[in-house]
Amino acid sequence: MNAFDPTLFDAPIARRDSGCVKWTRFDEDVLPMWVADMDFAVAEPIRAAIADRLAHPVLGYGVAQQRVKERIVAWLAARYGWEVPPEAILLLPGVVPGFNLALRALCGPGAGVVVQTPVYPPMLKAPGNWGLRRVDAPLTDDDEVDMDALRTALRGAGHGPAAQDGAFLLCNPHNPTGRVFGVAELAAMAEACLAENVPIVSDEIHCDLLFDGRRHIPLASLAPEFAARTITLMSAGKTWNIAGLNACWAVVPDAGLRARYAAALAGVADHVNILGLVATEAALAEGEPWRQALIAYLQANRDWLLRAVAERLPGVRLRAPEGTFLAWLDCRGSAAAADPHRFFLDRARVGLNAGPDFGPPGQGFVRLNFGCPRALLEEGIGRMQRALAGA
Ligand SMILES: Cc1ncc(COP(=O)(O)O)c(C=O)c1O
């Protein structure tokens, strides 16, 4: 495979009757550019591995074999320079169940969970799922960490005398802003958590989708004392577009924390989809050339989108995403300001994610998924341009 083979990603794929959520939610004339999966075919080696597994006729409960854990450990070491033993890895049916169950493991009744708004909606909902308090620490207007707001929120997380009552739920790379936090920001956040005795649940699901040569930094890899207090969640689901296979992994280097987490998983998330395990292993073992090509394609889509927004969508602003395939469009200065989701759905027939679903700072924003063939992205922007021009 060439370093960059656009033909892998240019081909339109009809998904409407494939039983996927993305192409089902809206009417047939709406172009769906919302939920975070991509309109790209899964990499050949992954499909081949699944086909091989299906040659075996039994599909009973899955278990993570040692070699899957070893593959993950090798990936963490090679890609991020993060050395952890295989026993630190737990396989789970998804990152969303993973962070929900982490809160169950970590938080006492009435404790607070700190989230950095605007943020992925299931993170906003997770504290409420367990009767916990959500404590918002909004990012700055420039999508940077507001350390004062974070410290105040952590103090309010109510960890109390029983250590580890509250939690900090981090999203890095950050959905929806596309921010990739750097060493200094990550270390400052982790230090603040340590100072308040608040453990960290770090959702790093977008970690292998970074642009401009960036390298992902797992927060827990920065210092042993951070690792001891952190549950890190990662997955092949976003990067290799296999989210429907429901498999992910947690990295929990501290044995005590791991036991506590395992106890919270028991009876709720005991098994992982057997094809998800196969696909995860194949992605990490053989999926790197495809991933490299994907990054090149997504980065070109991002750059095209940045120009198109600036030149063709009057009053809409976009700060360049540093990772992910998500664009957080600030429509507050545009004709769509009052309710951009509704505006673009009704007038452009483009289905986006509504900003307010990501928390209060999302008012006047929409999230657009650019993980799609360029032609589809151009179609979407063309529709949005015409809608704004006609407003
Ligand atoms: C930040 C983040 N976490 C988790 C998920 C979903 O993870 P999973 O499908 O493994 O539950 C997404 C999907 O968009 C996401 O953006």
How many A from CA of 73 to the centre of ligand 1? 21
Beta carbon of 282 within 6 Å of any ligand 1 atom? no
Residue 163 pLDDT: 43
Verify that 278 and 335 share a domain, yes or no.
Answer: no
Would the pLDDT of 198 be above 60? yes
Instruction: Indicate the average pLDDT of the chain.
Output: 95
Verify that 26 and 64 share a domain, yes or no.
Answer: no
Q: Tokens in use for 45? A: 């080696």
Residue 6 pLDDT: 66
HSE on the CB side for 324, CA within 13 Å? Answer: 26
Residue 48 pLDDT: 98
Beta carbon of 171 within 6 Å of any ligand 1 atom? yes
Q: Which atom of ligand 1 is nearest to the CA of 235?
A: 10
Would the pLDDT of 178 be above 70? yes
Domain annotation covers residue 380: yes
Domain annotation covers residue 212: yes
* DSSP conformational letter for 287: -
Verify that 38 and 89 share a domain, yes or no.
Answer: no
How many domains does the chain contain in total? 2
Verify that 278 and 367 share a domain, yes or no.
Answer: no
Alpha helices in the chain (DSSP H): 7-10, 44-55, 66-80, 95-106, 121-129, 147-155, 183-195, 224-227, 255-265, 274-286, 288-312, 340-343, 374-389
Cβ proximity of 256 and 241 under 8 Å: no
How many A from CA of 122 to the centre of ligand 1? 8
Interval 61-66 mean pLDDT: 92
Verify that 282 and 294 share a domain, yes or no.
Answer: no
Interval 47-54 mean pLDDT: 98
Which are the contacts of 94, defined by CB distance < 8 A and separation ≥ 6? 235, 237, 246, 247, 248
Beta carbon of 201 within 6 Å of any ligand 1 atom? no
How many A from CA of 99 to the centre of ligand 1? 10
Interval 95-103 mean pLDDT: 98
H or E stretch covering 170: strand 167-171
- pLDDT tens digits, 249-285: 999 999 999 999 999 999 999 999 999 999 999 999 9
Confidence of residue 2 (pLDDT cuts 50, 70, 90): very low
Q: Which of 33, 37, 95, 180 to mutate to test the pocket of ligand 1 (most atoms within 8 A of CB)?
A: 95
Pairing of strands 133-136, 350-351: unpaired
How many A from CA of 247 to the centre of ligand 1? 11
Distance from C-alpha of 379 to C-alpha of 228, rounded to nearest angstrom: 48
Domain region containing 378: 7-44+288-389
Q: Tokens in use for 269? A: 């998330």
How many A from CA of 367 to the centre of ligand 1? 15
